[in-house]
Chain A
Amino acid sequence: KQEVTQIPAALSVPEGENLVLNCSFTDSAIYNLQWFRQDPGKGLTSLLLIQSSQREQTSGRLNASLDKSSGRSTLYIAASQPGDSATYLCGLGGNQFYFGTGTSLTVIP
Chain B
Amino acid sequence: GAVVSQHPSRVICKSGTSVKIECRSLDFQATTMFWYRQFPKQSLMLMATSNEGSKATYEQGVEKDKFLINHASLTLSTLTVTSAHPEDSSFYICSASAPGWTEAFFGQGTRLTVV
| A-B pair number, CB within 8 angstroms | 60
Contact check, A32 vs B109: say whether CB atoms are below 8 A apart.
no
CA–CA, A102 to B45, complex, Å? 12
Closest Cβ of chain B to A78, distance in Å, is 24
Do A96 and B49 contact each other (CB < 8 Å), given the known contacts A42-B108, A43-B108, A43-B109?
A: yes
Closest Cβ of chain B to A21, distance in Å, is 14
A-B contact pairs, 10 of them (CB 8 A): A32-B102, A43-B109, A44-B93, A89-B43, A95-B104, A97-B36, A97-B46, A99-B36, A99-B44, A100-B43
Q: Mark B1-13, 1 if CB is under 8 A from A, else 0.
A: 1000010000000
Contact check, B44 vs A95: say whether CB atoms are below 8 A apart.
no
Task: Note all chain A residues with C-beta closer than 8 A to B103.
Answer: 32, 34, 49, 94-95
Main secondary structure of the interface of B (DSSP, over half): strand
Contact check, A41 vs B111: say whether CB atoms are below 8 A apart.
yes
Task: Note all chain B residues with C-beta closer than 8 A to A36.
Answer: 106
Task: Note all chain B residues with C-beta closer than 8 A to A41.
Answer: 91, 111
Question: Which of these, B6, B101, B111, contacts A95 with CB under 8 Å?
Answer: B101
* A residues apposed to B, CB below 8 Å: 4, 31-32, 34, 36, 41-44, 46, 49, 51, 89, 91, 93-102
Closest Cβ of chain A to B59, distance in Å, is 10
Task: Note all chain B residues with C-beta closer than 8 A to A4.
Answer: 43
